[in-house]
Every structure is written in structure tokens, then in C-alpha cells.
Structure 1
């Protein structure tokens, strides 16, 4: 009972008052040393260069909640077949609410005076030679209405129940009817909020007041913060030719980039505008490709002599998509410590690689194994205890025994890579 009590007391004492540390072996070998330092240098360069400088691992990040408001201005003029017309914002912008995605009409095909009746299809839509070629009550995907089962001899096409006369969109006006749209202007008002940092910014930054807006026009070099853009400049900056894209339409993305560092004054958080063509390639020369440009149809309905009629527009236009891209950063101790901790952990790669070289690749690997690992025999240690020898004295005797057996080769040419044990004085 007393012996067990002493064992428990010793165990508790050892737990609280003893410190364990791993044994280290100093290896003096040029090849292993160079490999170790090169790996450590690479890890250090990765931590400093990539994690801290490039990825800014010492900062926390946040993306913005954004709102965009747009307004077009400008007046267009057309003279189509002797019919003069002036087009304002209410006529050429779809939808008119000032959304972040809208279309500016640049060309159109108009079909006036349509009413619900029976008329022949366009040549090429559904050709026929007799009534049997026109299945009554059926539809054709590219047709304009429901076939009546009658083949019209004058056009050699099937008769359809549709809005007549049917639209003929085979010939697209060239040059574009609204080529004057190049001079329209677009005003963009954008507000962003970074909830994590409690910061709200607008693209109408310091210095962008009513007086400045009334006379400025965006230029990447001279006026990069001006929020008013000329439509022709937007097309040019996206890489397209205005007359080409105005004929059949297209789409352009305006990217408002908010990349901010809140470790400095928030006044330095300012937007950058980039322009990208979304539909089509400005260098593309293949004229036979499918689904070129951007177009849609809309109709204006009215009554004439109590008959419902409509004017159909096929609109070719430039679709503008305003895309807000945001990323804000600010110093935070938690990601900083995380980055440092992971970097320190990666340093262990050098030890693993060097151990592999040391223990498996070098000619004297057996010698290094004996230096790195301490082997004990369970049947020998009790004898040392029975002799009343101190443990340190036992290890000294064991080392001398190994040296006598030729295990520790102090005269080995590569012995400078080994470790030197100092005898502990006997008690």
C-alpha cells in the first residue's frame, strides 16, 4: 500500500515538475545543410512574397452590397423613306426605369398597320406547290402564324392566320438608322456598402460635385472618375467599331471595380471602370456565324375604325450590363496569426526532406541512423538498476560499448556529421 502511494506521488510529481524536450542531433554535412537552407529559404519566400505581400494574408476581406442607378441622355434623328422622326430617351431606352441592365436602340425594322387576318407567308418561310403542302391548323417554328391549309399561288407560300402583313426582316438597314446614338451619354450612379467594416462609398467621390458633372466626360487618362460616359467611347473602349455593332446590336459590360485597402484613409477607396464586349468578338471575321448581335421585338397597339392594329418594331441595340466588382481588405490579427502559424508549420517540410536524404540517400546512412535514434534493450536496463548505477552512467557505459564494437566511428571521414555526447559526471 505504501509502495503504491509512493508510485502515485512520484507520477504526480513527474507530471507537474518535469519537462520533456526532444533530442536533437547536429549534422555537419554540406549537402544536407544546403538542401535544408534552400527549402527553408523557399518557404520563407512563399510566406513573405505570396502569403503576405501578394495575397495579403494579414488582412480580412469583405465584398460590398451594391446599388446602381443609370440615366441616358441624348436625341436621335432618322429619315427613313422620307419619314423624318426625332427619337428621345423614352423611345430608344428599354426598360426606361434606369436599371443596371438596359438596351439602347441603334437600328430597327418597322412594320406598320398590322391587323389580325389571313395573308401569305414570306418566301422561304414555308414554300408550297399545292394545298397538300400546307397542313391546316399546324405551326412552323420560324413561321408567323397558324397555317390555314391554303397554298397562295402568287407567292407559292402557305397562307397563315397572323398579324398581317407579316414582318419582313431579311434586309437590315445599313448604315444603321440611329447612327447618331454614338453621341448619347450615360450617367452611372453607384453606391457600395462593406458591412464587415461599416464603410459606405459612392462613385461620386470627393471632388465629383454638380459643377464637375455638368461639364465632365469620362476619359481613362484625363477624367477616370467622371461618371458620365459617351456611348461611342464605351463601344470603342470595349474593342468594337460603333457602326458595326450598331447595325445588328451587341452587348457590352461596364465593370465598376471597388478594390479597397482600409488600412489607409477611406478617401483612397475609389472606383475603376473597365469595358468588355460580351456578345461577339471584335476581331471575328466569320460572317456566316449564327445568332449575331442582339435584337428583340415590341409592338405598339392602337384602334383604327374599331379594328385593333399594331406597329411592330424589331429593335437592334446595344445592351449595357453594369457589373459591380468589389473586394475590401483591412488588417486583422486573426488571419495574421493564422498565416504565420501555417507558415511555421510548412517549415517542417525542410526537416522531413533532410531526414529522408540523411537516412536513406547518403552513403553513411547507417551511421546517421545510429546517431538519430537511441536504442534501448529492456533486458539490459534492469541489470543497470540492480547494480545501483545512475541512468546517465549507464548510457555512458553503453556509448563506450558501442564505440568499442565499432558502432561509433570517430575516425570515419564523415564523422564530423555525427553528434558528440559529453559524459555526465558520476554521482
Structure 2
């Protein structure tokens, strides 16, 4: 019994095993085997590497945007003297983050003072006074005279803003890959003469407002009457492999963002009110109320399918292995 145990132990320690290779001289089996290998290789190269790009990683874009609008217009209506309007008058809240507002139409109520006047929608005094020769209303305490916005100028008073231009300065960062890019090329002479066009000059960061609205399928003159909201979309979808880095430029598109519905047209457009306060000659506090209609341009920056080459990490190699 002990002898058998010794022999088994010696066989276990000193026996040598090797795989046996069997060669099958069959053209049919060889073709099937090579065809299977080819399918695996094509799957790795075409689907995994080219289509799915499994050797790459993705990151989201971080962005900052500033704008500068240039232009002027002149109004000459029968009720007022001719007025010159520059960007200080047209652009309300010029430092608003990633958007800007261009004034296109106004209803002005000048020389309002705290007083009593005929109307029904303010603090009523209990007295009934003449609103016109044929109509009487309750007297109210408010800023008088009251605003009348039923007669909106059409065509828009400041529709000449369609010829204004805006310079959009956009900087983006992909923090994972430490990649930075601006939409402005390092060429000052180019920036002085260019104007964006999606075919002839797609990389220029200077846009004419009329062109932005028309590219969204809208008419600036029509939109200027009651205002609206436009979107300027900047797409930074880039492939950050080393051979594509120098070709990473933004793609611009435009669309109207507010609801323009032919039937459901309740509260259309975009407007708000603001006032300019001053003292009259007799020291009484007075204001000019302005109901401002215009187009707000929202700049939306995004980046999708942003990749960076990562061959070494995909094969389990660290930087110290090189």
C-alpha cells in the first residue's frame, strides 16, 4: 500500500504534460475557422473601434458667453421730435448672463405723476368722473395719466434694429481632458471684416440680427411688433483625438423658442415695463413709463459625443508602464 502511494507521488511530481495539436487537412473546416476569425477581427475594428469608439471617453462642456451689440436707429413720428437711438437705448440689461434683449417697439406714457384720474383698475376713490364725452368711470389714485397700450405701433417703431450686429464671444472647456477653445480665431483683421453666413462664413462670430431671425424661419419686421424669444444654439461636438483637435469649431443654429400659435395667441410676444424718474420744474416727482417690446436672444451652448483617446487605459496600462 505504501509502495503504491510512493509511485503515485513520484508520477505526480515528475510527470510532464503537453497539449497535443491535431491538424485536420480539411478545406471546409479551414474556411469556417478563418471566416470566424475574420468576423471577430471585423467586429473589433469596425463596430467596437470605429462605430462605438470604445477606446474613447466622453466629457461634458463648460461654457461662458459674453456679447456686444452694435447699431443705431432713427425714429420720426408725428407725436414726437426725431429721436436717435443707439445700443444704450436699444439693449436692456446688456450684462445679462448668456442672453441679451433688443428693443424693437415701445409704448411711452410721459410725464406721469401721483394723482387722481379716471379708470377702473387702480385704487378707487369712490368718485365717478368723465373718462370721455360719453363714458364715465370710477376715479382712481395712481400714476396719471394712465397707460394706453391698445394702439401698438405697427410697423414696429424700432424695426431698424434688424440691421444691428452682435459679436458673440464663447469660451469652452472640457475639464477631464484639459482642453480649452474659443469661437474667435487668432486673426484680428478677419474679425473686422467677417459676418456670419452658414455657407460662406460659418466660423465668423459676428451675426446680423435679421439673419438670425430669418434662419429660424421668422420675419424680423413681423416679430418686432410684439417681440419674442430667439435661441442661438452653439454646438461644440468635437472628436478630440489628436488628429481632429485643430478642427474643433462650433456649429451655429437658430430657432424661435417662445410659443407662436395661430389659434392660441393669448399674451403673444415678449414685453416688460420700466420707468425713468425725474423731478419736474416745481419739484414734483415725475416719471416716463415705457412698455418695451422686443426680442430676447438666448445663447444655448452644449456639447455631445465629446471624446478623448484612451488606448492605454482600455488595455489596462498606466502611464508608469511606458
**How would you bin the TM-score normalised by the shorter chain?**
0.7 to 0.9
User: Does residue 117 in structure 1 map to residue 94 in structure 2?
Assistant: no
Instruction: Give ranges in structure 1 of 5+ residues lacking alignment.
Output: 19-40, 127-142, 339-427
Match of 1:325 among 295, 302, 316: 302
SS of equivalent to 2:193: coil
SS of equivalent to 1:285: coil
Structure 1 residue 285: Cα displacement = 3.2
User: Does residue 64 in structure 1 map to residue 42 in structure 2?
Assistant: no
Q: Give the Cα–Cα distance (whole angstroms) in 2 for the partners of residues 63 and 151 of structure 1.
A: 64
Match of 1:171 among 151, 171, 183: 151
Q: Give the Cα–Cα distance (whole angstroms) in 2 for the partners of residues 335 and 86 of structure 1.
A: 63
Q: Give the Cα–Cα distance (whole angstroms) in 1 for the partners of residues 94 and 256 of structure 2.
A: 23
User: Does residue 193 in structure 1 map to residue 173 in structure 2?
Assistant: yes
Structure 1 residue 280: Cα displacement = 2.8
Q: Give the Cα–Cα distance (whole angstroms) in 1 for the partners of residues 124 and 49 of structure 2.
A: 70
What is the count of residue pairs matched by the alignment?
A: 284
Label 1:53 to 1:292 Cα distance change in 2 as closer, same or farther (>3 A): farther
Q: 1:14-413 to 2 correspondence within 5 Å?
A: 49=47, 52-81=49-78, 82-97=80-95, 99-121=97-119, 126=120, 143=121, 145-154=122-131, 155-205=135-185, 209-263=187-241, 264-281=243-260, 284-286=261-263, 289-304=265-280, 305-327=282-304, 328-333=306-311
Structure 1 residue 262: Cα displacement = 1.1
- Aligned counterpart, 1:394: none
Task: Check conservation: 1:205, 1:270, Cα contact below 8 A.
Answer: no
Task: Check conservation: 1:119, 1:164, Cα contact below 8 A.
Answer: yes
Q: Give the Cα–Cα distance (whole angstroms) in 2 for the partners of residues 256 and 214 of structure 1.
A: 21
Q: For structure 1, which segment, 55-64 or 171-180, has the greater mean C-alpha deviation from structure 2 after superposition? A: 55-64
Q: Considering only aligned residues, what root-mean-square deviation do their CA atoms show, in Å?
A: 3.2
Q: Give the Cα–Cα distance (whole angstroms) in 2 for the partners of residues 53 and 336 of structure 1.
A: 15
Structure 1 residue 238: Cα displacement = 1.2
Higher strand share: 2
Instruction: Give ranges in structure 2 of 5+ residues lacking alignment.
Output: 18-38, 317-322
- Aligned counterpart, 1:34: none
Structure 1 residue 53: Cα displacement = 4.1
Task: Check conservation: 1:70, 1:99, Cα contact below 8 A.
Answer: no
SS of equivalent to 2:150: coil
Higher helix share: 1
Q: Give the Cα–Cα distance (whole angstroms) in 2 for the partners of residues 46 and 279 of structure 1.
A: 46
